[in-house]
Amino acid sequence: MATRGRGSRFDAIVVGGGLAGIAAASRLAESGRTVALIEKRERLGGSSAMSGGWFALSGTALQRRGGIDDSDAVFLADMIRTGAGFADEKLLAALVAQQASAIAAIDRANAWTDELKVSAGMTIPRAHLVRIRQLLDHLERAAVRAGARIFTGSPADGIVLEGTRVSGIRSGGDLLTAEGGVILTTGGFSRSRELLDLFVPDQADAMPYGGVGNTGDGLRMAWMLGAGLADIGHVSGTYGQHADTSDDEHELLTANYLGAIMVNSVGERFTDESESYKILGSAVLNQPGRMAFQIFDARVRAVSRPGVPLSDMDRIEELGHLVSAPTIAELAQRIGLSSEALEGTVRRYNEMAAGRGEHEPIRTGLVNGIGALTPLMTGPFYAYPAVTAMTSTYGGLSVGPDTSVRRVDGSRIEGLYAAGEVVGGFHGASYMTGTALTKALVFGFEAADAIARG
Ligand SMILES: Cc1cc2nc3c(=O)[nH]c(=O)nc-3n(C[C@H](O)[C@H](O)[C@H](O)COP(=O)(O)OP(=O)(O)OC[C@H]3O[C@@H](n4cnc5c(N)ncnc54)[C@H](O)[C@@H]3O)c2cc1C
């Protein structure tokens, strides 16, 4: 990193170039601050660039156009309920109160699509599909135009203190100093087997996923200064990805929210398929072979949304990862299950969907209790074999609503801020679709503003 001498002093240093980091760097540069964005990998993006692009937002123009009457209060209540009382309500209230900054950024990047749906944790359609790469590119261009210095291939490996105040970072042999503060936006630890074994050993066998650089570096660096942690014990993998998925393009499918059932490798249902895909992720890790098939019929296949992450069965079929057959019995043979077992499971599920019989586990809706169940009766029939992937780790550093990092005793570590997936406290026990990207964008901006406020 060519940063020696005068070039190594900045008003602020942002560590990690995903959505939170790029947002922070752009906001700082546009407000006239000198800022360095330090990225470990050769290119920016992290998990953000791989993500589905769903943002949880309330009161948007798209909701109004669709006649959806959402409000900040309902959004907040849904997040609190989804977190089962473990999330930090002050952080959630700040997220809702400041979501206008995210909406404005998506407006400026012209990155909206018309896709709006109800998804995990929501009582109302609130998941907005955003062209995430367009948003990231727009923010990066804005940062560079305003003078931000971006250093790729430069992992930060230590935080520097002056007394008890954070004054900079080390990266390799380089020392970068920051007058106003350092913002950690290094993402989660989904790629660190060591940290998963330490914090959530029951999840450690999930398929490693997320940004390849996301090994918990920011968490460790802040931890060494006494930072507290939040939500770590609730970290959970996400169900719905093929075991052969590449690093660059995720293959998450939640056909279960469209009417598919989930069966294990002995052909049995074992969970309420309408639950959050994080809860499903844990349930699948406890099944034989740690996998489950999404089984559906032609009616469910027909509601595939090409190009829409989580609902794109066409793409999965193109990749050769969807198995089909004219009957349930033949489908069972093709995927190595007993025909009798799968036929029995589908028959009993269909009786439950028609309001007859009690098939355990009980399911009352398609997603989150919403949407009428439909029997699986119309061939051809399909199976998508999927595992639990550790896409993201929604536990991390303790912060205040202004993104200042807090020690174990709640006191501030002066000069240190954190935003995005490296932070805990937002999700508690479970996860509402789209809140990770919203929080990365909202609090990336807020971290920059906190430094600017001084
Ligand atoms: C497949 C997939 C789909 C997803 N879909 C959604 C979705 O639709 N909606 C949603 O809300 N969430 C989704 N998520 C989660 C969401 O993408 C992430 O939580 C969010 O993007 C995190 O943003 P971030 O800026 O905090 O971190 P990231 O985007 O991961 O960026 C962190 C960056 O920090 C860098 N870094 C790490 N260590 C260092 C270091 N020592 N020095 C310098 N740089 C470092 C990393 O290389 C990386 O570039 C998904 C995640 C995955 C993997």
129 and 183 both lie in a single domain: yes
Q: What is the pLDDT along the chain (454 residues), one digit of tens a residue?
A: 544 444 599 999 999 999 999 999 999 999 999 999 999 999 999 999 999 999 999 999 999 999 999 999 999 999 999 999 999 999 999 999 999 999 999 999 999 999 999 988 899 999 999 999 999 999 999 999 999 999 999 999 999 999 999 999 999 989 999 999 999 999 999 999 999 999 999 999 999 999 999 999 999 999 999 999 999 999 999 999 999 998 877 899 999 999 999 999 999 999 999 998 889 999 999 999 999 999 999 999 999 999 998 999 999 999 999 999 999 999 999 999 999 999 999 999 999 999 887 778 889 999 877 899 999 999 999 999 999 999 999 899 999 999 999 999 999 999 999 999 999 999 988 889 999 999 999 999 999 999 999 8
Alpha-carbon span 116 to 56, nearest angstrom: 10
Alpha-carbon span 435 to 368, nearest angstrom: 16
Domain boundary residue, one of 345, 363, 390: 390
Total tally of structural domains belonging to the chain: 2
276 and 316 both lie in a single domain: yes
28 and 161 both lie in a single domain: yes
Cβ-based neighbours of 446, under 8 Å, separated by 6 or more: 94, 98, 101, 401, 402, 403, 419
Q: Measured in angstroms, how far is the CA atom of residue 224 from the centroid of ligand 1?
A: 22
Which DSSP string do the residues of 131-153 spell out, in sequence order? -HHHHHHHHHHHHHHTT-EEE-S
DSSP letter, residue 42: S
Instruction: Show the tokens assigned to 334.
Output: 């093709």
Ligand 1 atom nearest the C-alpha of 423 is 26
From the list 352, 399, 430, 361, the residue with the least C-alpha distance to 20 is 399
Beta strands in 242-327 (DSSP E): 261-263, 291-297, 323-325
Ligand 1 atom nearest the C-alpha of 212 is 47
Q: What pLDDT does 438 receive?
A: 98
Element containing residue 30 per DSSP (H, E): helix 19-30
104 and 60 both lie in a single domain: yes
Give me the CATH number covering residue 252. Answer: 3.90.700.10
Domain boundary residue, one of 351, 374, 390: 390
Ligand 1, atom 53: closest residue by C-alpha: 210
212 and 265 both lie in a single domain: no
Element containing residue 199 per DSSP (H, E): helix 193-199
339 and 202 both lie in a single domain: no
Question: What's at 355, amino acid-wise?
Answer: G
Question: What's at 419, amino acid-wise?
Answer: A
Ligand 1, atom 49: closest residue by C-alpha: 46
34 and 101 both lie in a single domain: yes
Give me the CATH number covering residue 94. Answer: 3.50.50.60
Q: What pLDDT does 7 receive?
A: 52
Q: Measured in angstroms, how far is the CA atom of residue 212 from the centroid of ligand 1?
A: 9
Ligand 1: list residues with CB < 6 Å: 15-21, 38-41, 45-48, 50-54, 155-156, 185-187, 209-211, 213-214, 217, 250, 252, 391-392, 420-421, 434-437, 440
441 and 371 both lie in a single domain: no
Instruction: Show the tokens assigned to 420.
Output: 């995005």
Ligand 1, atom 11: closest residue by C-alpha: 434
Ligand 1, atom 33: closest residue by C-alpha: 16
Ligand 1, atom 48: closest residue by C-alpha: 46
Distances (CA, A) of 46 to 61, 95, 189, 217, 440: 29, 22, 12, 13, 12
Alpha-carbon span 196 to 176, nearest angstrom: 30
Domain boundary residue, one of 371, 390, 409: 390
417 and 380 both lie in a single domain: no
271 and 322 both lie in a single domain: yes
From the list 344, 391, 361, the residue with the least C-alpha distance to 203 is 391
Task: Name the H helices within 205-320.
Answer: 217-223, 277-285, 298-301, 313-318
Element containing residue 170 per DSSP (H, E): strand 165-171
Range of the domain at 285: 238-390
221 and 310 both lie in a single domain: no
CA 119 to chain centre: 13
**Distance in Å from the first CA to the final CA of the chain:** 28
